[in-house]
């Protein structure tokens, strides 16, 4: 192991005893969700008119009875996420305390963005501002105020409110999967509320709801993508716009998504995400060059100010006195339901790539990084489109509002080199489509499987199945009524999962309070452990500082580590366990071999009834001897560390060189803190 790297994490003892050691499907969730999706798709394909009427009737009832609820829920999710991030809980890691991030900042940020936003950003970056300008929810159309509303409403629908829903699910899933070592699934976030029952029917029902909502949310994005790409190919190559071309596009995209999903996060999704962001930035620069850059910068700054100043009023604006029902269904209610439907999918994916980040880092990046990109993208393309409409091109405005899939390409047609820019836009759109589809296949495969660990993914055939199922549902909804049917279905499917999100929020808060009790236990038990050390006799102190200096200056080899195990750690742990058993406690010591080092690891476990057991692990690792260390001729290049691991992960200190009495004292210090933690925990 290179110097500075963390040692391999020990195989933990999990609270989720029923988690399997190998990947297999969860029959109830997999077959239940797949049967429902296939049945709905076949019904919609066979009787599109009946499906359209049924969807429309349900949406009308939801928008009338639950419109206020969507506004309130979205606001509460945002407030909770920000509160957790700025509070003392923000420093808690999504993983053990010793864990470090798996991806660079750029790769992580690229996947954050590409997973949460798809081709719909291109779809609405022109259609949104133009529609709000020509038909605003309140006030007169085609005014300066309507133009400012056009951008700010689009930003509002793509802003931090929606990303807060992703952040809520992401930090909850990451926390329980990597900190509690539970399955990387929605059910795990309910562990503080229902305990081991998450592995039963209740947990299956929660994951089933997540899969249903997720696949409809993804289908919206893919449906929008198919419609827009179809027009893009017609614009470039005169490919006919219609069902045949859309079926072909769905087939091609599903095949590409399958290849990417099977390749996995590192080889597939990560590389596509990074390429996607770079090309999207190139497209923005292209338009900015041919538009007036100074005017666009002025618009960007104004848009930021409008968003910041108007956000508090917009976030709870239900238009109670004169509700524009059709506008609300098409925009705010649809977007909030869409974000909710995507929350389990994106949340799980974000958790999957964010191990080792603190909650504060995770929330800050999730709310800020994608929004900054979205802000720039919407401002550049939205202000460019508004400039054309306000300049007198009414035909362009009507096209962008009535057939939004044509708006983006029609905007590019206003500038030189449209063949190049439209071709680039089509390729970027295809990448957006594939990154959404492959991420969705990966996540839904994980939802419907029992995984061996939170670091593994579902079997390849399961991911392939979900890529195909998503394509089938997308086709069915397009046959029912195009993009309108997809948006309506999302409003329906997002409602039940919003209730699950409140349960997730409550479960996460209860778990984070336990972390606070753990910190309080360390603080309150510290004086007693310090007082033991200050009452030592002078001669003992004299020996202690010399021994301490010798330990600091030494870099022990494997032979020394073997002797430490034989003479110190094994006898110390067994003596503590024997004494505890004599006092009526249930204590045991187990050992195992760490193959990468060739040394044993040891664990002392003390049962604590129905509360969290105390575990004290000694785990060996090899590190390179640092350059500042005093060197002897023939000395080894590696040295051995024995680090202490508790239930929450590595404590990041080495006990090699401790005497038996010192090691026993350390065990008792940690045990005393654990008992204090249990006392403080309700």
pLDDT band, very low/low/confident/very high, at 530 (cuts 50, 70, 90): very low
Q: What is the pLDDT of residue 7?
A: 43
Burial class of 277 by CB neighbour count within 10 A (0 to 12, 13 to 18, 19+): buried
Mean pLDDT of 263-275: 62
pLDDT in tens, 171-199: 999 999 888 878 878 888 998 888 888 88
Domain ranges of the chain: 24-292+322-517, 550-680
- Flag the least confident range among 287-291, 487-491, 589-593, 639-643: 487-491
Q: Contact at 8 Å (CB) between 482 and 224?
A: no
Token output for 478: 């397009």
* CATH number attached to the domain at 24-292+322-517: 1.20.1740
Q: Answer whether residue 503 shows pLDDT above 80.
A: yes
Q: Where are the beta strands (DSSP E) in 8-66?
A: 24-25
Q: What is the pLDDT of residue 654?
A: 87
pLDDT in tens, 109-119: 777 766 656 67
Q: Answer whether residue 8 shows pLDDT above 80.
A: no
Q: What is the pLDDT of residue 13?
A: 42
pLDDT band, very low/low/confident/very high, at 266 (cuts 50, 70, 90): low
Q: What is the pLDDT of residue 116?
A: 59
Q: What is the pLDDT of residue 106?
A: 76
pLDDT in tens, 641-664: 999 988 877 787 888 888 888 899
Q: CA nearest 569: which of 596, 593, 591?
A: 591
Residue 545's CB is within 10 A of a number of other CB atoms, namely: 9
pLDDT in tens, 213-229: 888 888 888 888 888 89
pTM reported for the whole predicted model? 0.79
Token output for 244: 């045949």
pLDDT band, very low/low/confident/very high, at 242 (cuts 50, 70, 90): confident
Higher pLDDT, 263 or 542: 263
Distances (CA, A) of 654 to 5, 446, 673: 15, 37, 19
Higher pLDDT, 427 or 116: 427
Q: 326-346 as b/e, with b when 16 or more CB fall inside 10 Å?
A: ebbbebbbbbbbbbbbbbbbb
Distances (CA, A) of 573 to 124, 552, 604, 614, 617: 63, 23, 6, 13, 10
Mean pLDDT of the chain: 84
pLDDT in tens, 12-49: 444 434 444 467 889 999 999 999 998 988 888 888 88
Q: CA nearest 332: which of 58, 66, 57?
A: 66
Q: Answer whether residue 9 shows pLDDT above 70.
A: no
Q: What is the pLDDT of residue 648?
A: 76
SS (H, E, C) 75-86: HHHHHHHHHHHH
Token output for 162: 């929606």
Angle (nearest 5°) at CA 106 between 435 and 214: 30
pLDDT in tens, 564-608: 999 999 999 999 999 999 999 999 999 999 888 889 999 999 998
Burial class of 38 by CB neighbour count within 10 A (0 to 12, 13 to 18, 19+): middle
**What gap in Å lies between CA 218 and CA 225, rounded to an integer?**
11
pLDDT band, very low/low/confident/very high, at 55 (cuts 50, 70, 90): confident
Q: Which residues neighbour 233 within 8 Å (Cβ) at sequence distance 6 or greater?
A: 239, 245, 249, 426
Q: What is the pLDDT of residue 117?
A: 65
Mean pLDDT of 422-437: 81
């Amino acid at each position: 192991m290179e110097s500075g790297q963390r040692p391999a994490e020990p195989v933990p003892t999990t609270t989720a005893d029923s988690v399997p050691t190998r990947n297999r499907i969860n029959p109830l969730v997999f077959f239940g969700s797949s049967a429902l999706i296939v049945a709905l798709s076949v019904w919609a394909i066979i009787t599109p008119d009946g499906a359209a009427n049924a969807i429309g009737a349900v949406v009308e009832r939801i928008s009338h009875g639950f419109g206020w609820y969507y506004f309130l829920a979205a606001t509460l999710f945002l407030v909770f996420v920000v509160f957790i991030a700025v509070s003392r809980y923000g420093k808690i890691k999504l993983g053990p305390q010793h864990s470090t991030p798996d991806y660079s900042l750029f790769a992580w940020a690229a996947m954050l963005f590409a997973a949460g936003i798809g081709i719909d950003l291109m779809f609405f970056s022109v259609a949104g501002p133009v529609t709000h300008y020509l038909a605003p929810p309140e006030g007169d159309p085609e005014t300066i105020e309507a133009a400012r509303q056009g951008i700010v409403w689009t930003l509002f629908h793509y802003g931090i409110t929606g990303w807060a829903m992703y952040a809520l699910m992401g930090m909850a899933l990451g926390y329980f999967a990597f900190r509690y070592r539970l399955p990387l699934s929605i059910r795990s976030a309910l562990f503080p509320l229902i305990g081991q029952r998450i592995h039963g029917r209740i947990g299956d029902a929660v994951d089933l709801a997540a899969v249903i909502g997720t696949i409809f949310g993804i289908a919206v994005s893919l449906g929008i993508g198919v419609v827009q790409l179809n027009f893009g190919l017609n614009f470039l190559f005169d490919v006919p716009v219609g069902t045949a071309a859309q079926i072909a596009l769905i087939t091609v995209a599903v095949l590409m998504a399958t290849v990417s999903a099977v390749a996995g996060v590192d080889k597939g999704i990560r590389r596509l995400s990074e390429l996607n962001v770079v090309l999207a930035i190139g497209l923005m620069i292209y338009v900015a060059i041919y538009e007036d850059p100074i005017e666009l910068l002025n618009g960007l700054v104004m848009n930021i100010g409008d968003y910041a100043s108007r956000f508090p009023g917009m976030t709870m604006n239900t238009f109670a006195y004169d509700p524009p029902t059709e506008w609300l269904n098409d925009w705010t209610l649809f977007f909030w339901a869409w974000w909710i439907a995507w929350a389990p999918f994106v949340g799980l994916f974000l958790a999957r790539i964010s191990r080792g980040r603190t909650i504060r880092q995770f929330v800050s990046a999730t709310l800020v990084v994608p929004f900054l990109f979205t802000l720039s993208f919407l401002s550049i393309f939205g202000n460019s489109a508004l400039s054309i409409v306000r300049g007198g091109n009414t035909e362009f405005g009507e096209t962008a509002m009535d057939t939004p899939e044509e708006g983006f390409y029609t905007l590019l047609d206003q500038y030189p080199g449209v063949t190049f820019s439209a071709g680039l836009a089509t390729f970027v759109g295809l990448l957006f489509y594939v990154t959404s589809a492959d991420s969705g296949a990966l996540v839904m495969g994980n939802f419907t499987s029992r995984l061996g660990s939170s670091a593994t993914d579902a079997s390849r055939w399961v991911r392939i199945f979900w890529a195909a199922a998503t394509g089938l549902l997308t086709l069915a909804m397009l046959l029912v009524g195009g993009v309108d049917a997809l948006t309506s279905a999302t409003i329906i499917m997002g409602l039940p999962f919003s209730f699950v999100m409140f349960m997730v929020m409550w479960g996460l808060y209860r778990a984070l309070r336990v972390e606070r009790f753990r910190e309080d236990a360390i603080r309150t038990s510290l004086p007693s452990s310090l007082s033991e050390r200050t009452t030592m006799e002078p001669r003992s102190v004299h020996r202690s500082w010399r021994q301490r200096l010798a330990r600091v200056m030494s870099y022990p080899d494997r032979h020394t580590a073997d002797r430490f195990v034989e003479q110190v750690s094994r006898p110390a742990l067994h003596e503590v366990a024997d004494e505890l058993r004599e006092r009526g406690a249930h204590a045991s010591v187990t050992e195992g071999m760490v193959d990468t080092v060739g040394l044993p690891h040891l664990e002392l476990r003390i049962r604590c009834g129905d509360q969290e057991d105390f575990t004290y692990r000694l785990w060996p690792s090899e590190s390179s001897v640092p350059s500042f260390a005093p060197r002897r001729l023939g000395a080894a290049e590696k040295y051995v560390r024995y680090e202490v691991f508790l239930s929450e992960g590595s404590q990041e200190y080495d006990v090699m060189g401790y005497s038996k009495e010192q090691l026993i004292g350390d065990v008792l210090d940690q045990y005393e803190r654990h008992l204090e933690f249990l006392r403080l925990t309700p």
